[in-house]
Structure 1
Amino acid sequence: MKEMVLKYGCNPNQAAARIYMHNGGDLPLEVLNGRPGYINLLDALNSYQLVKELKEAIHLPAAASFKHVSPAGAAVATDMSDTLKHIYYVDDLELSPLATAYACARGADRMSSYGDFVALSDTCDVATATLLKREVSDGVIAPDYTEEALGILKTKRKGTYCVLKIDEDYKPALLEHKDVYGVTFEQERNEAKITTDLFKTRPTRNKDIPEKAQRDLLIALITLKYTQSNSVCYVKNGMTVGVGAGQQSRVHCTRLAGNKTDIWWLRQHPKVLALPFKEDVRRPDRDNAVDVYLSDDYDDVLADGAWQLVFTRCPAPLTREEKKTWLGELHGVSLGSDAFFPFGDNIERAHRSGVDYIAQAGGSVRDDHVIAMCDKYNIAMAMTGLRLFHH
């Protein structure tokens, strides 16, 4: 197929929309079901690059959950605790490694992943298709699908679910182009290889970055490579637990991603696990209710009785002291930044969310201050010398 005519562009008023190859060749993807939109395809092509690179770097099946051209989550196939299976709503499923990767990619930030576009590094199997079928999602891209998995996906959304097959051997041209206000931009693709060699320069007193932490730092940096900048990413146990994208201030990225990480960890608190949901409350509504329960607005919900919509009884609040104590037990988080940290306040905020390992570009005039702040909290930091802006 030489080109694909789309229903419209980013918005319905942008009627003339299509994708095609500058060189006149065939498109590297095929529509197996549904009708993808302009933003769907942007998410699909960005997210597939991410999972392809994760698989090449870590040699495990990988998955990503994309929304508006940035990852809500990304993960490789690792063991999941029973608690994570419960809060990710997969404790009733038999998961393959690929399905596990997607469950983790979507599960850490389920509110952001609602209505996502999914990327899979490997052939979509029945287990992954079964998980996808019951989640609110716009589409999926993968190098292939088993016959049974494709049959399952074709029944989703009354038969309109978007299923894309990508040529895994496709190699894009070195130069890429983008038009803005009638002006064409041209640049080399960002083909920088992200490997553990980037972690050799460790200016902090603590230089110990264990193998699993190095894997998590690789996941963070590869995720950032396809995240709208400025961006910061927190990773633990092979999965992103907080992605802060598209902020003008780096500390706001760090706060945003840190807040998401805090919520991910607080969702595992015994009080949250024991919330008395009514049986007919849907998964997205449970996610929203947990978010409100953990917010500063919960007292208002108690006051106006809105809790009765989702709970069988009024849950006691999780107090500020209980939150602080529980968050104090979070450790071993790895953090990546797509550029240097200009101030030590980023490290202060990262420390509060259990960060023990950092990879960032370095090169700020205040590097000494950032290093000193890491030393204050015994954080091991690598300076990669590699900026990963993505726009």
Structure 2
Amino acid sequence: MRLRYGMNPHQAASLDSAPFTVVAGEPSYINVLDALTGWQLVREAAEQFGVPAAASYKHVSPAGAALGETVAAAYARARDADPKSSYGDFVAVSHPVDLELAAVLKRVVSDGIIAPGYDEGVVEILAAKKRGTYLVLEADAEFEPPAEEVRELYGVRLTQTRDALPLTRGLLSAEVPDDTARDLLLGMIVARYTQSNTVVLMKDAMAIGIGAGQQSRVDCTRLAGEKAALWWARHSTDPLTGVSMVSDGALPFTDNVVEAQRYGVSHIAEPGGSIRSPEVAAACAAARITWSETGVRLFRH
């Protein structure tokens, strides 16, 4: 399949095969990257928690991700986390798109969507967006990716096993309540499909702040916190509390804990194993933040 263009319009691109069908529109290289990454996130989240999941993707990282009672509710919550960054997003949802979600998407600026199916009348509504160029992809829900991933870069072929490690309750501290465990595990799933370095702030089954792609981890924490604070300010005048934080890599210094405190974090899950992890654990204890040393790094590049 010939793609509209590569990462930039001056680059030609093509696709040999894919676990989706193009229902409407014509995909670009980045559309495919966003679609495949977003689909993996929502599929894993829905399988883990048994409810609809949605993600709003921009440049191969989610601007927001959430669970919901319906697919429309899940997407509304995902987009509400950071509507500025979600402008022109690529949507991924775990369940078939119904007329309720189609009505939401009709009102917002978005580039495309991937879902496992579409109810009657939905494709016509979506395909009319963007003067008829809106991209609609139908995922093959039965497709299982190979165990080995391959990437070619500058003439070099890299292979590795796919990151399919189960993310389970046993990775978290026994002190963590069940609702918090859900948020931390969902945050780990979000981190798994976000460009590193990554810090995810979670509340009520919703990523309220994602700091992605920063070279300094404390900058990730600060960025996620600032986004979470903006989200909270739109909904409440009370102090932000009860936030859960996930880091895809070990917290190297206690400055991350100091920043986390500023944004109402009461639970942190991170790989640990750093030379200063005992100091991080002590700082969490002093701040009355539960600390889960998962032992699982979730880098994505």
- 1:9 alignment counterpart: 6
* Counterparts of 2:74 and 2:65, CA distance in 1: 8
What amino acid sits opposite 1:5 in the alignment?
R
- 2:130 alignment counterpart: 157
What amino acid sits opposite 1:18 in the alignment?
S
What amino acid sits opposite 2:143 in the alignment?
Y
- The Cα of 1:58 is off from its aligned counterpart by 0.9
What amino acid sits opposite 1:167 in the alignment?
D
TM-score (norm 2): 0.98
What amino acid sits opposite 1:160 in the alignment?
T
> Percent identity between the aligned chains?
50
* Counterparts of 1:266 and 1:142, CA distance in 2: 32
* Counterparts of 2:66 and 2:113, CA distance in 1: 16
Superposition pairs of residues 1-391 of structure 1, within 5 angstroms: 4-15=1-12, 17-21=13-17, 27-77=18-68, 97-199=70-172, 202=173, 208-269=175-236, 326=238, 329-391=239-301
* Counterparts of 1:43 and 1:7, CA distance in 2: 15
* Counterparts of 1:108 and 1:220, CA distance in 2: 14
- The Cα of 1:159 is off from its aligned counterpart by 1.7
* Counterparts of 2:153 and 2:217, CA distance in 1: 25
* Counterparts of 2:15 and 2:79, CA distance in 1: 28
- The Cα of 1:208 is off from its aligned counterpart by 2.7
* Counterparts of 2:97 and 2:62, CA distance in 1: 19
Deviation sequence 1:53-104 (CA, Å, 0-9, x none): 00011111000000000000000015xxxxxxxxxxxxxxxxxx11000000
- 1:298 alignment counterpart: none
Q: Secondary structure at the match of 2:124?
A: helix
- The Cα of 1:269 is off from its aligned counterpart by 4.3
Q: Secondary structure at the match of 2:121?
A: helix
Aligned residue-pair number: 301
Deviation sequence 1:261-282 (CA, Å, 0-9, x none): 1111122246xxxxxxxxxxxx
What amino acid sits opposite 1:19 in the alignment?
L
Deviation sequence 1:319-353 (CA, Å, 0-9, x none): xxxxxxx4xx2111011000110111101101110
Q: Which runs of 5+ in 1 are unaligned?
A: 22-26, 79-96, 271-325
* Counterparts of 2:53 and 2:236, CA distance in 1: 27
Q: Secondary structure at the match of 1:147?
A: coil
Q: Could you list the structure 1 runs, at least 4 aligned residues long, displaced by more than 2 angstroms after superposition.
A: none
Q: Secondary structure at the match of 1:113?
A: coil
Deviation sequence 1:228-274 (CA, Å, 0-9, x none): 0010000101110000001111111101101111111122246xxxx
What amino acid sits opposite 2:91 in the alignment?
V
- 1:276 alignment counterpart: none
Deviation sequence 1:187-227 (CA, Å, 0-9, x none): 1110111111211xx4xxxx631111111001110000000
* Counterparts of 2:89 and 2:263, CA distance in 1: 26
What amino acid sits opposite 2:249 in the alignment?
A
Q: Secondary structure at the match of 2:136?
A: strand
* Counterparts of 1:234 and 1:218, CA distance in 2: 12
* Counterparts of 1:226 and 1:187, CA distance in 2: 16
* Counterparts of 2:236 and 2:45, CA distance in 1: 30
Q: Which runs of 5+ in 2 are unaligned?
A: none
Deviation sequence 1:4-23 (CA, Å, 0-9, x none): 111210011112x11114xx
- The Cα of 1:151 is off from its aligned counterpart by 2.1
* Counterparts of 1:335 and 1:20, CA distance in 2: 39
CA-atom RMSD, angstroms?
A: 1.1
What amino acid sits opposite 1:388 in the alignment?
L
- The Cα of 1:131 is off from its aligned counterpart by 0.4
Greater Rg by CA: 1
* Counterparts of 2:80 and 2:240, CA distance in 1: 18
Q: Secondary structure at the match of 1:144?
A: coil
TM-score (norm 1): 0.75
Deviation sequence 1:304-324 (CA, Å, 0-9, x none): xxxxxxxxxxxxxxxxxxxxx
